[in-house]
């Protein structure tokens, strides 16, 4: 810029002309910055408080530079929690793992495809269980003619040595039929998440999940429009139901499933003590691959952004009457993130990975960044330090809409968490990310963004 300006001065002696040129350049730069600022969304604090988000004076185009409102707040001593200035979209956080298990070369990644080389025309019906539901899922399978690139054995590593069990070559008889069936299964059994899927969890988790069930059933199905008297579906209830279905679905992308019914496809129990599934029969690998594609491409890809958008809508409404529902929703998502981290950690160990989360390190990193986003959203929305609530004065706080039963539940939760706190690891070295209470425990007191896994530095 400078040399051109000097050249202008040399060739153009008329002052107004120079003035105009310099100003027009300045304006162009300003215009560019304004466009950049517009492209950056308002920060979370300004959005929730419905005030104009004024960009950082020194670095107006840097999305990471705190806005003027956040700067001002960080300088006052009155705030109970000091949240960073965050600009992001809640719907774009990552909550489920990318699929693609490399169990066949017949298609790329998570394409939802049928196998086309059948061994015969008969189909069999098997039960597929995963320990998440009272009822296994019933699926129709058919024997295939294996081809190069199909993985036919289940592998695991024991003491550095790779072991395997060969399984019969079966695939889903019709992948789209199974996809439809899973959607029906989800409608019918997703609430098992609240009991069956957490039956071995800490009492604290079990009780909170059962409260989700109680709260869901206490909400009316429909609300009446105050002006027209027209009945409209209760979106708060729908948010909870969608959350339960979503969490039940992501559980299906963790752990292992097995053949559980009378029809066993001729698979023999594995007697090797190091076999990771104990007395359970491993599913033929092509079925595992196809089911994984269904979960990623058909179920979660659609469900996840829709649900997060719905949650964002509720947070932005900033209505204290939704406080308890939003508490439960964020609690569940954060707990499910711990479950996923733990599952990835287990998987990496079973496969002797050299890094903490093996091949899915980047996914775990993104998911933990998502936990930070959820926690910052909660931090702004909750507007109360839960470790220091004056319950006698709750009618003057955001907690004024809680029912007496919900008050008792929250008091119990805070007390139980306080007892658990000394046992919850606080550093990655101690295993904090895989601990079931680590992320949820951050919902209560003062909070600052958590250290997350960095897949570049295992």
Residues that bind Zn ion (CB under 5 A): 43, 45-46, 53, 67, 69-70, 85
What is the DSSP-derived secondary structure letter of residue 145? -
**What is the distance between the alpha carbons of residues 177 and 173, in angstroms, rounded to a whole number?**
8
The smaller minimum CB distance to Zn ion, of residues 45 and 106, is found at 45
Q: Least distance to Zn ion from the beta carbon of 374, Å?
A: 18
What's the min distance (Å) between Cβ of 46 and Zn ion?
3
| Smallest distance from Zn ion to CB 151, Å | 49
Looking up tokens 């409404």 gives 317
Instruction: For tokens 């009446």, name the residue.
Output: 224
Residues contacting 55, CB < 8 A, separation 6+: 37, 40, 61, 65, 67, 68
Rank residues 70 and 281 by Cβ distance to Zn ion and give the closer one: 70
Label the pairing between strands 281-282 and 258-259: antiparallel
Closer residue to Zn ion, CB minimum distance, 378 or 439: 378
The least distance separating Zn ion from the CB of residue 53, rounded to whole angstroms, comes to 3
Closer residue to Zn ion in complex, CB, 82/454: 82
* Backbone angle region of 3, left / alpha / beta, with phi > 0 → left and psi within -120 to 50 → alpha: alpha
The nearest distance, CB 372 to Zn ion, in angstroms, is 15
Question: Which tokens hold the place of 116?
Answer: 């086309």
Estimate to the nearest angstrom the gap between the alpha carbon of 296 and the chain centroid: 13
- Cβ–Cβ under 8 Å, residues 119 and 183: no
**Helices 235-251/301-317 angle, 10° precision:** 140
> Please, what is the minimum distance in Å from the beta carbon of residue 55 to Zn ion?
8
Cβ neighbourhood burial of 138 (10 Å; 0-12, 13-18, 19+) = middle
Q: What would the two tokens of residue 273 be?
A: 């003590």
Residue 60 or 131: the one with the smaller Cβ distance to Zn ion is 60
Closest separation between CB of residue 54 and Zn ion, Å? 7
The C-alpha angle 40, 446, 246, rounded to 5 degrees, equals 65
User: Toward Zn ion, which CB reaches closer, 191 or 380?
Assistant: 380
Which helix (H) or strand (E) covers residue 139, if one does? strand 137-144
Distance CA 336, CA 179 (A): 23
Query: Taking the alpha carbons of 26, 29, 34, 37 in that order, is the dihedral positive or negative?
Result: negative
CB of 228 to Zn ion, least distance (A): 36
Of 46 and 294, the one with the shorter C-beta distance to Zn ion is 46
As measured in angstroms, the least distance from the Cβ of 439 to Zn ion is 23
Closest distance of CB 65 from Zn ion, Å: 9
The total of other beta-carbon atoms located within 10 Å of residue 103's CB is: 18
Distances in whole angstroms, Cα of residue 6 to Cα of each of 12, 14, 23, 30:
10, 13, 14, 21
Burial label for 70, CB within 10 Å (0-12, 13-18, 19+), is buried
Contact 238, 246 (CB under 8 A): no
Q: Which is nearer to Zn ion, 45 or 356 (CB)?
A: 45
Q: Which of 401, 406, 394 lies closest to 207, judged by CA?
A: 406
Question: CB of 66: closest distance to Zn ion in angstroms?
Answer: 6
With respect to Zn ion, which residue has the nearer C-beta, 9 or 51? Answer: 51
Query: Which of 46/288 has CB closer to Zn ion?
Result: 46
Instruction: Indicate the residue among 54 and 223 with the shorter CB distance to Zn ion.
Output: 54
Report how far residue 251's alpha carbon sits from residue 292's, in angstroms, rounded to the nearest whole number: 12
Nearer to Zn ion, 72 or 451 (CB): 72
3-state secondary structure of 81: coil
CB of 37 to Zn ion, least distance (A): 11
For residue 246, the tally of other CB atoms under 10 A from its CB is: 26
């Amino acid at each position: 810029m400078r040399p051109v300006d000097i050249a202008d001065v040399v060739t153009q002696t008329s002052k107004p002309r120079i003035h105009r040129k310099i100003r027009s350049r300045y304006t162009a730069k300003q215009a560019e910055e304004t466009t950049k600022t517009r492209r950056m969304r308002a920060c979370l604090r300004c959005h929730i408080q419905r005030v104009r988000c004024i960009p950082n004076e020194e670095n107006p185009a840097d999305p990471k530079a705190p806005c003027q409102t956040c700067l001002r707040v960080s300088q006052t001593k009155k705030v109970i929690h000091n949240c960073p200035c965050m600009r992001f979209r809640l719907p774009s956080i990552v909550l489920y793992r990318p699929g693609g298990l490399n169990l066949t070369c017949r298609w790329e990644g998570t394409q939802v495809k049928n196998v086309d080389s059948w061994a015969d025309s008969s189909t069999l019906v098997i039960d597929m269980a995963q320990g998440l539901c009272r009822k296994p899922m019933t699926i129709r399978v058919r024997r295939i003619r294996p081809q190069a690139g199909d993985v036919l054995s289940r592998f695991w590593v024991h003491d550095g040595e790779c072991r395997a069990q060969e399984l019969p070559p079966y695939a889903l008889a019709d992948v789209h039929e199974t996809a439809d069936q899973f959607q029906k299964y989800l409608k019918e059994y997703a609430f098992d998440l609240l009991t069956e899927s957490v039956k071995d969890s800490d009492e604290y988790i079990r009780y909170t999940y059962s409260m989700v069930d109680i709260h869901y059933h206490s909400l009316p199905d429909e609300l009446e429009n105050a002006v027209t008297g027209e009945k409209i579906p209760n979106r708060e209830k729908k948010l909870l139901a969608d959350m339960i279905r979503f969490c039940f679905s992501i559980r299906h992308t963790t752990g292992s499933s097995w053949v559980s019914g009378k029809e066993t496809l001729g698979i023999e129990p594995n007697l090797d003590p190091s076999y990771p599934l104990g007395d359970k029969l491993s599913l033929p690998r092509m079925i595992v691959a196809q089911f994984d594609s269904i979960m990623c491409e058909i179920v979660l890809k659609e469900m996840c952004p829709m649900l997060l958008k719905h949650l964002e809508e509720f947070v932005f409404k900033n209505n204290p009457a939704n406080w308890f529902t939003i508490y439960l929703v964020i609690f569940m998502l954060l707990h499910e993130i711990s479950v996923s981290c733990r599952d990835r950690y287990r998987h990496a160990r079973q496969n002797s990975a050299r890094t903490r989360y093996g091949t899915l390190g980047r996914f775990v990193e993104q998911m933990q960044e998502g936990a930070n986003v959820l926690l910052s959203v909660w931090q702004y929305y909750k507007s109360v330090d839960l470790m220091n609530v004056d319950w006698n004065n709750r009618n003057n706080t955001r907690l004024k809409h809680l029912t007496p039963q919900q008050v008792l539940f929250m008091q119990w939760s805070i007390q139980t968490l306080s007892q658990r706190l000394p046992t919850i690891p606080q550093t990655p070295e101690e295993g904090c990310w895989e601990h079931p209470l680590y992320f949820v425990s951050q919902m209560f007191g003062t909070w600052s963004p958590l250290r997350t896994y960095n897949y570049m530095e295992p």
